[in-house]
Structure 1
Amino acid sequence: MAEEATTPPDAAAAPSEQVVLEADYVYELRDENSIVAEGNVEALYDGRILRADRLIYNRTTERVRATGNVVIIDTDGSQQFSDEVEVGSNLSDGYAIGYSARLTDGSTVVASSAIRQPGGINAMDQVIYTACPICEAKGQKPTWTLRARRAVLDQESQMMSYRDAVLEVMGIPVFYFPYLAHPDPTSDRRSGLLIPSVGLSSKLGAFYQQPYYWAVSDSSELTISPMISANVNPMLELDYRKRFYSGAINLNTSLTREKDFDSDGEKFGEEKWRGHLYGSGRFALNNHWQWGFGVETQTDDLYDRRYDLDGQGEERGIYMSQPRRLLSQLYAVGQGDTYYTDVALLSIQGLRGGDVNGSLPKVTPLLFSEKYWDLGDYGFASVNASTAVLRRNVGSDSQRVSVGTDWTAYKILPGGFTFEPFAELRGDFYQLDSNSAGNGNESRLVGNAGTRIAYPMIRPGKTVDIMLEPEVMAAWGTSNSNDPAIPNEDALLFEMDESALFDANGVAGYDLYEGDGKLSAALTARAVWKDGPELSATFGRRWRSRTDTAFNTISNLDGTTSDWMAAATADFGRALRIDTHVRLDDDGMQLNRIDTRLTTQAKRWRATGQYYKISERLNLGGREEEGIYLSGEIRVTDRYSILFGQLRDISDNLNVQRDIGIAYEDECSRLELVFSRTELQDRTQGPSENIQVRFSLKTLGQFGSSEFD
């Protein structure tokens, strides 16, 4: 017999305080002023549900005692289990014996007893906590558990603390903590100590770095990471992040006072303050304009390699730095429906062995702006302006101002031909040092006019669509466009490839310009299957009316014929993708350059491979370069994987970087053991090798990180 019981009418007047009780049998003990429910008992209060075999509600004390398979389901979906529980009428405050709980994040906690107090303090004795799934039917034990004599959860501060805690991995005690505290996994950001980094290095000796995370405000945070080492003086590292209404900033810096030291930890030179600063920020001025900054600087060119600092090569603005070059920039960008503008101040710091202090320029400023119009049937037109002001402490200064205009149209001719006429005109003015030009000023007017004609042919099929598109570009431009007095600052390493084959001016940048007559031709083929795979390839070259000595062999614009250029892609989705770029010599079809990249991913593996080869003709050093890069992970079983990575310089028979390791991963943890070795040597920083171990625990973070050089 199922019955319902509710609280008295005065309590029931407030619906949020109403208790609904259902059971097979409900009866009253008048002498004890109690209500007893037995059999499939379920009590509902304010979204909380209590289920049990038997329940007694004492009206005098307003306490509920439940026994037998007790389950409490909270409003957040978490479930609590116990053999016996006594709670208040709100089904929250009380105690439990034989307690366990399954939290909303999937973690599990078990305790011999638990007490929940009205002030939000929850205490448990003989506690076991894990984020791993537990399956008693299969005899499956959790990968890791945290055992403690006592645990306390303060709901007001959202902190969990343990006394006499032991971390067990695979049932083996690994760490003992007299006291351990961490934020509740469901809480917001909290200040506190993070997992330290401990290791042994040939450069630093034994070292210990302890990060402290400070949640400064809802919109800012600071990580303070002091490091002490056996061989060198302490170093302090800081990471600061802050969000504003219009943008955000991110800063990473470090500071120490120490001498220089080599890869064996041997000190030399003067003891002085040393450090680095990497940072960026970007902010919106309005819907069309943004401004930002990027800063990269360090006191020593090998400082980052001595302390194994990361962060170089990251994007910190609208311009990217080159390897072993630091770039600081202050910029603004504006873009609307018919215009685009960017302006930047740039400063470059060289970290390479051959860099001379002061020889790298400061750009004050670099500007590009363009305004364009849709002329309807008459095509598209634009005007643009650019300026670059370069200052050096060592070497020549230069200033350039350029103003240009472009026009293009697109027509479809009878028979399916596409016809795209174009024209461009640009004026450049240079103000140079007198040692670079006789009068210090140079000017020129350059331009091109021509057309592109293509004939796309498509054959749809039941299983595959095939497309062939021959394309030709013919243009004529100004002759003698490159005055030897004009310094080449922005096209030193330029190389024309298939992406610029149909540009009238095949040169990137402003200091060099491709005039005279030129003719480009290429054939593009593409096959697209209905079920997804796609193959495509482009093959072509360029002819010029005369030789321009301003272009070197690397540019692919020297002489009157370019090398043959080809690009091919085989895309089979995640299973396999191959991208290849090839440059073949115009006389004899010898391989001058190849760059092939392969990516593959499946249930059991993921891998990336890249192979490159550059002939001595295209290398400023006059020697052939060849190398291969491999990286990936192979899942041998459902839990174990093999990690690998290698960057090999085949030309010098040198392993720039080699990594191999093994990883274990389940639903609640990941363990990696990786051996790394590099044979690269940069002045006082020579070859090194290390072993890295990292154990990541779900909800608790990363435990254990050691390195051995």
Structure 2
Amino acid sequence: MRIVLLVTILTIWTFPFKVLAKQVNENKIPVLLKADEVEYDRELSLVVARGNVELIQGKRILTAQTVTYNQKDDLMSASGDVAILNPEGDVVFADHAEITGDFKNGIADNIRLLLADNSRAVAFSGRMSNGKITKLRRGVYTPCQSCEGIKGVPLWQIKAYKIIHDREDKTIEYQDAFMEMFGIPVAYTPYLSHPDPTVKRRTGLLPISGGNNSKLGTFARIPYFVEIGTDKDITVELISTTNGGQILNNEYRQRFASGIVDLDFSGTVTDIKPKTAGASNQVEGKNKPRGHLFGHFRHHAKENLRARGDIRLSSDDTYLQRYSFSNDTVLENNFFVEAFDNDSYIAANTYLWQDLRPNNRQGDMPIVAPFLQYNYVSPLTRSGGNLEIDANFTALTRTNGTDSRRISVRSAWNQRAISTSGHLIGAFAMLQTDLYQASQVSKKNQNSDDTSSGFAGRIYPRVGFEWRYPLEKILGTTSLQLEPIAGMMVSPRGGNPALIPDEDSQAFEFDDTNLTSRNLFSGRDRVEGGQRLYFGLSGATYRPSGYSSIFFGQSYRLNNDDTFPSGSGVDGKLSDYVGRVMIRPSLPLDIIYRFQIDQDTLAFRRNSVFINAGPPALNVQLDYNLIDVNSGSASLPNREEISVRTTSRINESWKLRSSLTHDLTNKFTSSQSISLTYICDCFNFDVSYNRSFVQDREIEPTDTVLFQLTFKNLGTFNL
């Protein structure tokens, strides 16, 4: 018969557990005893519990087959499947244990320790001290579970003369320790310590990585993490190279109740090689201080009021690429504050850029401060109409070139209706009012020395109408949808005075996304004049297993408009054809295809293909882009490029990845890489090779081999 006795009752009615009773009085925590059989010898002051014995005090639990308690010595002897569960979550197993009545001190034979993350340690014997420290003699520790090496031996383990687990300090220490991999000793240290699994972050060394770069030579990255407080930390990383000097790279992080700050900065003193012939803006010399500062902060003052800042600065043009911090050639800095509610939005922005490209002058880059934005959208009326207001003030300053100030207000009334037969009708009436003050505006082109200055204004009315007729047919579980689209935009011709500089509308691109837009230009500085008709057809099929869609369209202008770049596809009356195809079946396949076809020659001016195919066992991603030389885009010069990325999950542990980018126009490979990764529950191995073909002043084509080993609980480990 199973017996359950509270120690407080036992001390009064049955047998005097004096020490346990004392514990109850001191700690106010009763001890619960469960056993199949309990005997008490009054002469020897012994209590013997047999069969499925459990002793429970608070969050500490002892289980065994037999427990003998000596009242005089205040000592419990436990044998047979002994297990002690500590409040911290770790469990001590043993064949036999001698434990004091307060559970805090004891010795054990053939001891096994199971930690909170299922890491394990075993030893011939062990000692528990003060309820917080477990000392193992001649022990072995490993966090590996399914990650096995040769003949069932863990992939890696630590053998030590002493292993000490301090639950109060949350540390595991080793004395005279050997690290073994596949059962073979590979390293020795007289002392080693690391946080136990309950610790999420603590000051210490992070995993070291290293490799070889054809220009920097052999390198090693040695990061050290410092926990400054519960809300802040810093990682200091020494990057040591044989040919490129020593770099100190740092990351500071801090979290507030209403935001975060993250700073990434580095520095070194090294030589800058002579500039490449023709490059006009490269610093050179010996023992030059170099570095970078990247950072961002977020602050949520209220639910609808927040601020953000992003900083990206470099000491010179080539530092970031030389030391593989970033491949960006233009660095954007932005600070803004925004507030919003259900109907309106207001923001204040500041932008500035650092230009790292060869032969570009920093003085040509604008500083935008301030950039003020206000938007309002009224609720829909019963008739389906609403009011939109979009106001903007921008101040743009350069040390070389055009300066401008702009006030712009757009107001529009939108009306929508659905006929009884399912026709969707939309109409709008818009008025854009702009006032500019500009200086040194080029009269002919951006590189002209013939400039003018002064004030310019513009009142630009525009009305539009759109018709859609969505149709659907259900065939079993398949939905077939077809939607013809037609619309018209009407406004006065012209509307772009010569004194209005084009700052935000240079990157013009005609495609399926803006065919039906109110203004083909993305910005405010250029407006579309005259009358334009557009028409298109979209279709889609939806099945439980996936869907596919297609769109095809074109536009027609009543008059030519020389505002659009030559070759843009809309510089004549009849535009190029634009379209989009999307295919997403149930198979692991995703295809997105966009195109622009010359309406006269039917030649492709733009082709953009993205394919994502295959399961994790073999996944292939392909990007293909073709931009014709006469596409008219100022920001996207003619090019034909293909990128291929593959990922192969060979099995649960091995992953192979590769990538290749090839310039088909200039017939050269711009980058290629391959990496092999081994991942298991306690170990991460990664080796990669990267070939960069970038050539820019001191930057030359390089080959980089990177090698990294990560051991769980000895540093950062993320699967």
What's the TM-score, normalizing by structure 2?
Answer: 0.90
Partner of 1:694: 708
Structure 1 window deviating more from structure 2 (509-518 vs 109-118): it is 109-118
Q: CA RMSD in A?
A: 2.7
In structure 2, the CA distance between the partners of 1:92 and 1:494, relative to structure 1 (3 Å rule), is farther
Partner of 2:595: 582
Alpha carbons 2:162, 2:176 under 8 Å: kept? yes
- Does residue 1:468 correspond to 2:482, yes or no? yes
Higher RCO (C-alpha under 8 Å, 6+ residues apart): 2
Residues in 2 aligned to 1:532 and 1:262: alpha-carbon distance in whole angstroms? 60
In structure 2, the CA distance between the partners of 1:261 and 1:166, relative to structure 1 (3 Å rule), is farther
Give unmatched runs, 5+ long, in structure 2: 13-19, 276-282, 443-450
Partner of 1:382: 388
Quote the offset at 1:83 in angstroms.
Answer: 1.6
In structure 2, the CA distance between the partners of 1:373 and 1:661, relative to structure 1 (3 Å rule), is closer
Partner of 1:331: 336
Partner of 1:88: 100
Residues in 2 aligned to 1:247 and 1:465: alpha-carbon distance in whole angstroms? 46
Structure 1 window deviating more from structure 2 (6-15 vs 33-42): it is 6-15
- Does residue 1:636 correspond to 2:645, yes or no? no
In structure 2, the CA distance between the partners of 1:134 and 1:686, relative to structure 1 (3 Å rule), is closer
Quote the offset at 1:387 in angstroms.
Answer: 1.8
Residues in 1 aligned to 2:429 and 2:189: alpha-carbon distance in whole angstroms? 75
Structure 1 window deviating more from structure 2 (229-238 vs 94-103): it is 229-238
Quote the offset at 1:548 in angstroms.
Answer: 1.5
Alpha carbons 2:147, 2:680 under 8 Å: kept? no
Partner of 2:17: none
Alpha carbons 1:45, 1:90 under 8 Å: kept? no
In structure 2, the CA distance between the partners of 1:575 and 1:211, relative to structure 1 (3 Å rule), is same
Partner of 1:398: 404
In structure 2, the CA distance between the partners of 1:572 and 1:505, relative to structure 1 (3 Å rule), is same
Partner of 1:163: 175
In structure 2, the CA distance between the partners of 1:52 and 1:240, relative to structure 1 (3 Å rule), is same
Partner of 2:116: 104
- Does residue 1:453 correspond to 2:467, yes or no? yes
- Does residue 1:249 correspond to 2:265, yes or no? no
Alpha carbons 1:564, 1:583 under 8 Å: kept? yes
Residues in 2 aligned to 1:170 and 1:651: alpha-carbon distance in whole angstroms? 50
Q: What amino acid is aligned across from residue 575 of structure 1 in structure 2?
A: P
Quote the offset at 1:591 in angstroms.
Answer: 1.1
Q: What amino acid is aligned across from residue 304 of structure 1 in structure 2?
A: L
Q: What amino acid is aligned across from residue 615 of structure 1 in structure 2?
A: D
Alpha carbons 1:694, 1:702 under 8 Å: kept? no
Alpha carbons 1:341, 1:369 under 8 Å: kept? yes
Q: Secondary structure at the match of 2:513?
A: helix
Residues in 1 aligned to 2:133 and 2:366: alpha-carbon distance in whole angstroms? 62
Partner of 1:183: 195
- Does residue 1:356 correspond to 2:369, yes or no? no
Alpha carbons 1:16, 1:46 under 8 Å: kept? no
Q: 1:410 aligns with which of 399, 402, 416?
A: 416
Q: Secondary structure at the match of 1:419?
A: strand
What's the TM-score, normalizing by structure 1?
Answer: 0.91
Map 1:421-460 → 2, pairs under 5 A: 421-433=427-439, 436=442, 438=452, 440-460=454-474
Partner of 1:419: 425
Q: 2:496 aligns with which of 482, 494, 501?
A: 482
Q: What amino acid is aligned across from residue 296 of structure 2 in structure 1?
A: S
Deviation digits for residues 22-59 of structure 1 (CA, Å, limit 9, x no counterpart): 34443234443211233433333324332223221111
Q: 1:665 aligns with which of 664, 669, 679?
A: 679
Alpha carbons 1:381, 1:407 under 8 Å: kept? yes
In structure 2, the CA distance between the partners of 1:400 and 1:620, relative to structure 1 (3 Å rule), is closer
Q: Secondary structure at the match of 1:501?
A: coil
Identity value in percent: 28
Count of equivalent residues? 688
Residues in 2 aligned to 1:446 and 1:174: alpha-carbon distance in whole angstroms? 76
Partner of 2:447: none
Q: What amino acid is aligned across from residue 117 of structure 1 in structure 2?
A: S
Partner of 2:321: 305
Deviation digits for residues 574-620 of structure 1 (CA, Å, limit 9, x no counterpart): 82211111111111221111111122463524442212122222266
Residues in 2 aligned to 1:430 and 1:135: alpha-carbon distance in whole angstroms? 68
Q: What amino acid is aligned across from residue 662 of structure 1 in structure 2?
A: L
Q: What amino acid is aligned across from residue 532 of structure 1 in structure 2?
A: S
Alpha carbons 2:155, 2:183 under 8 Å: kept? yes
Residues in 1 aligned to 2:511 and 2:664: alpha-carbon distance in whole angstroms? 24
Quote the offset at 1:97 in angstroms.
Answer: 1.7
Q: What amino acid is aligned across from residue 697 of structure 2 in structure 1?
A: R
- Does residue 1:523 correspond to 2:537, yes or no? yes
Partner of 1:545: 558
In structure 2, the CA distance between the partners of 1:361 and 1:23, relative to structure 1 (3 Å rule), is same
Residues in 2 aligned to 1:285 and 1:71: alpha-carbon distance in whole angstroms? 51
Residues in 1 aligned to 2:218 and 2:453: alpha-carbon distance in whole angstroms? 62
Quote the offset at 1:268 in angstroms.
Answer: 6.2
Quote the offset at 1:261 in angstroms.
Answer: 4.1
Residues in 2 aligned to 1:276 and 1:181: alpha-carbon distance in whole angstroms? 34
Give unmatched runs, 5+ long, in structure 1: 313-322, 704-709
- Does residue 1:602 correspond to 2:615, yes or no? yes
Alpha carbons 1:39, 1:54 under 8 Å: kept? yes
Q: Secondary structure at the match of 1:499?
A: coil
Residues in 2 aligned to 1:134 and 1:70: alpha-carbon distance in whole angstroms? 25
Alpha carbons 1:134, 1:141 under 8 Å: kept? no
Partner of 2:312: 296
Residues in 1 aligned to 2:284 and 2:374: alpha-carbon distance in whole angstroms? 50
Alpha carbons 2:248, 2:267 under 8 Å: kept? yes
Alpha carbons 2:479, 2:542 under 8 Å: kept? yes
